[in-house]
Amino acid sequence: MTSYRSRFGRIGLLVAAGALLLSACTGPSAEPKTTGSGGSGPVESGPLRVAVISHGTAGDAFWNVVKNGAEAAGKELDVQVEYNSDGDPGNQAKLIDNAVARRVGGLVVSMANPEALRPSIESAVRAGIPVITINSGEDQSKVYGAITHVGQNEGIAGENAGREFKDLGKTKLLCVVHEAGNVGQAQRCDGAKRGFGGNVENLQVDISNPTDVQSRIRGAVQTDPSIDAVLTLNSQVAANAVNAIKQANSKAQVATFDLNTDVVNAIQSGDVRFAVDQQQYEQGYLPVLFLKLYRDNANVVGGGRPVLTGPDLVDKSTVDKVGQYVNRGTR
């Protein structure tokens, strides 16, 4: 007959072996995977870590407001927010890869050049990291596996701008594109053409060379005096357009996408007719909130559709109210 001590010894060995097996299955090397819209992201102790990676250039006033929104949400929600940006698509992809390697709990990405970022974003999704796209790349967001997109519909925004110029009686519109290959800017100009319904011409410039931007716009309106409307797609480019129009003694009116302090002042003075505001503070703030809800409560927002932050048209009738928030960096 087997003794009690022998039986107890065998049971102890079985328990120990089972514990080792369980440890091997549930240890650090077993990475959780996302299992649909309600799946969980990487399991982390402590506050949620979110990497926000945009295609903004250094010192860009627009992206500074996005950063302000993301960091404000982080402070309010106890989320660690890491903001990085690079205007080069290849470098932006590397920033995404680095965030995936650090196993952040959530990823927020703007996709001005979606195809260049696709492998990196899909890699994040495979690693179980929830991704929210912002600002640009709306059409590709769901295809790449993002849980939602936050921004304005660029085509609709462009249509609104074109229609506004049409209602002002303008007959020829110059649409100034400042980033080659940016799908969102192409959609804006295409939308402006639909809304305007008249003669629309695109002008390619380089935002990193303000002197050349101003020179090209001045040359365009001097060469073709029939241009009576100029639409810029960036608040900094708007200031160059205003100076170019004055230098050329042109009667063309300027409007722009996005707001900054200079655009607010220009609308108040009449140098800029209106601005199409996509409320980019929300593009920084909302994704951090959404990722917090996703991790803590498996919530998803949008029902498979993008969450729109614009467009909102700002002109002389509303600029004083809106301007106070622009001046403090929250709009």
State what percent of residues in the chain have pLDDT above 90.
Answer: 82
Buried b (16+ CB within 10 A) or exposed e, 284-304: bbbbbbbbbebbeeeebbeee
pLDDT bracket for residue 112 (50, 70, 90): very high
In angstroms, the Cα distances linking 304 to 21, 86, 139, 148, 149 are 40, 28, 12, 7, 9
Q: Which two tokens stand for residue 225?
A: 């005096």
In order of their start, the domains of the chain are: 48-152+280-300 (3.40.50.2300), 154-277+317-323 (3.40.50.2300)
Mean of pLDDT over the chain: 88
Q: Rounded mean pLDDT of 172-185?
A: 94
- The answer to whether residues 73 and 288 touch, using CB atoms and an 8 Å cutoff, is yes
Q: Which two tokens stand for residue 243?
A: 């100076």
Q: Mark out the alpha helices in 151-300 (DSSP H runs).
A: 154-167, 183-196, 210-223, 235-247, 261-269, 280-297
Per-position DSSP letters for 73-125, written without gaps between them = HHHHHTEEEEEEE-SSHHHHHHHHHHHHHTT-SEEEEE-SSHHHHHHHHHHHH
Residue 140 DSSP class = H
User: Pick from 152, 188, 154: which is nearest to 173 by CA?
Assistant: 188
The SS3 assignment for 273 reads strand
Q: Are 74 and 81 in contact (CB under 8 A)?
A: yes
Q: pLDDT tens for residues 24-83?
A: 333 333 333 333 334 344 546 689 999 999 999 878 889 999 999 999 999 999 999 999
pLDDT confidence of residue 180: 87
Cα 313 from Cα 267, distance rounded (Å): 12
Is residue 77 a contact partner of residue 288, using CB atoms and an 8 Å limit?
A: yes
- Cα distances from 296 to residues 73, 257, 289, 291, in angstroms, run 15, 36, 11, 8
Give 210: exposed, middle or buried? Use CB within 10 Å, 0-12, 13-18, 19+.
middle
pLDDT tens digits for 132-156?
A: 999 999 999 999 999 999 999 999 9
pTM above 0.85, yes or no: no
Of 295, 298, 200, 309, the C-alpha closest to 259 is 309
In what order do the strands lie in the sheet containing 106-110?
79-85, 48-54, 106-110, 131-134, 148-151, 307-308
User: SS3 of 170, please?
Assistant: coil
Q: Provide the 3-class DSSP secondary structure of residue 265.
A: helix
SS3 for 49? strand
CA atoms within 13 A on the CB side of 65: 22
Strand order in the sheet with 253-257: 199-204, 172-177, 229-232, 253-257, 272-277, 312-314
Mean pLDDT of 297-319: 96
Q: For residue 42, what pLDDT is reported?
A: 58
Q: 260, 323 in Cβ contact below 8 A?
A: no
